[in-house]
Amino acid sequence: MPDEFDEFADADLPAYVGLPSFHKLPWCPDDASLEASRAQVAIVGAPYDEGTSARPGARFGPRAIREASYLSGDIWSIPLQVDVLKVLRVVDAGDAPVVPSRPDRAHRVIQEKVRRVASMGAIPVVLGGDHSITFPSAAAVSEVHRPRKVGMVHFDAHADTAAELWGALASHGAPMRRLIEEGWIAGRNFVQVGLRGYWPDAATFRWMGEQGLRWHTMAEIEERGAEAVIADAIREALDGPDAIYLSIDIDVLDPSVAPGTGTPEPGGLHARELLRAVRQIVGRVDLVGMDVVEVSPPYDHAEITARVANRCVLEALAALAAKASRP
């Protein structure tokens, strides 16, 4: 029965059949296959969690996010009315070659992997990993796009702007400070959304104010609504730069919808608010890089955290496709 044996291409088989690249997209882990793919967007895994300050496990995030979907083949975005993968060439570029217990090397190989993807003209969409990976990832994107300036929209319960955590510069609590201090992204174009709870402290917020950072707390979102706040965040991030790196710490979501993360903080966004915000941002700006971080599968329940992270990526792809198909 050769006809029914070959009835479906591998990419069109159900998501649970075969190798779990992101959405069963072409697997292009080396430079040659990535170059040949002429991808406009490339998924990159950053399976590293040695920057975590509390519950670990985000090193298993990239694989979990890749697997967390029941879809394969073509995808039609209902909100944006676009056949996403017919418009956009997307591949999975595999993981940065991280090994355990070598944190400096891990950050270097993540930076190099993202640099290679961005240099080939693809938008890197990086799956974390803990939030420390945003330092090498956004630095690589900023470097590749010079002399253009890149702004940052950063979703998180936490500002991640500590000078150090227990003496560690490479902590997941410090990447945003390093990006600003090393000049990869200007403080005044660094915009944070979703802050709440009890960390960081007043001195760190003073430093943020001095750098011109702008931040929007959950309390502000409760008062003004997410859509108005996101519109401000876009304007602030683009006040100078003409391109955006979008960083999503999944703990910006309420732990009731994203329990599988290292430092859950009650009182966060609902999934539908975050997915709408991703469409709103990516639809309106020139996206040059993105990450979704802090998914820790060992703490997840019913894969719900990995699934919403997967959909953050799909919403971004759909918004890119909708933009590309606009007359």
Residues in the site for Mn ion, rule: CB under 5 A? Answer: 131, 156-158, 160, 249, 251
Give the nearer residue to Mn ion in terms of CB position, either 20 or 173.
Answer: 173
For residue 195, the SS3 value is strand
Helix 134-145 and helix 103-119: axis angle, to 10°? 30
Distance in angstroms (rounded) separating the CA atoms of residues 199 and 217: 12
> With 0-12 CB in 10 A as exposed, 13-18 as middle and 19+ as buried, what is 316?
buried
- Strand 82-83 relative to strand 76-77: parallel, antiparallel, unpaired? antiparallel
Of 285, 199, 277, nearest to 236 (Cα)? Answer: 285
The nearer residue to Mn ion, 172 or 323, going by C-beta atoms, is: 172
**Smallest distance from Mn ion to CB 84, Å:** 27
Give the shortest CB-199-to-Mn ion separation in angstroms.
9
For residue 90, the number of C-alpha atoms closer than 13 Å in the C-beta half-sphere is: 26
Q: Nearer Cβ to Mn ion, position 120 or 293?
A: 293
Return d(Cα 281, Cα 196) in angstroms, integer: 21
Q: Which is nearer to Mn ion, 160 or 291 (CB)?
A: 160
Least spacing, CB of residue 251 vs Mn ion, in Å: 4
Q: Is 9 left (phi over 0), alpha (psi -120 to 50) or beta?
A: beta
Residues 6+ apart with CB under 8 A from 297: 57, 60, 61, 63, 64, 260, 303, 305, 306
Contact call for residues 321 and 275 (beta carbons, < 8 A)? no
- Least distance from C-beta 8 to Mn ion, angstroms? 40
Least distance from Mn ion to the Cβ atom of residue 323, Å: 27
Which CB sits closer to Mn ion, 115 or 154?
A: 154
Between residues 157 and 288, which has the closer beta carbon with respect to Mn ion?
157
C-alpha to C-alpha distances, 112 to 31, 105, 138, 163, nearest whole angstrom:
12, 10, 11, 24
Q: Are 173 and 165 in contact (CB under 8 A)?
A: yes
**Strand 82-83, strand 214-217: pairing:** unpaired
State in angstroms the smallest separation of the CB of 269 from Mn ion: 12
Distance in Å, CB of 133 to Mn ion, minimum: 10
**Which of 84/253 has CB closer to Mn ion?**
253
Which one, 95 or 251, has the nearer CB to Mn ion?
251
Which residue lies nearer to Mn ion by CB, 95 or 160? 160
Tokens 């006809």 — which residue?
A: 3
Residue 313, Cβ neighbours under 10 Å: how many?
25
Q: Measuring CA to CA, which residue among 200, 205, 219, 308 is closest to residue 267? A: 219
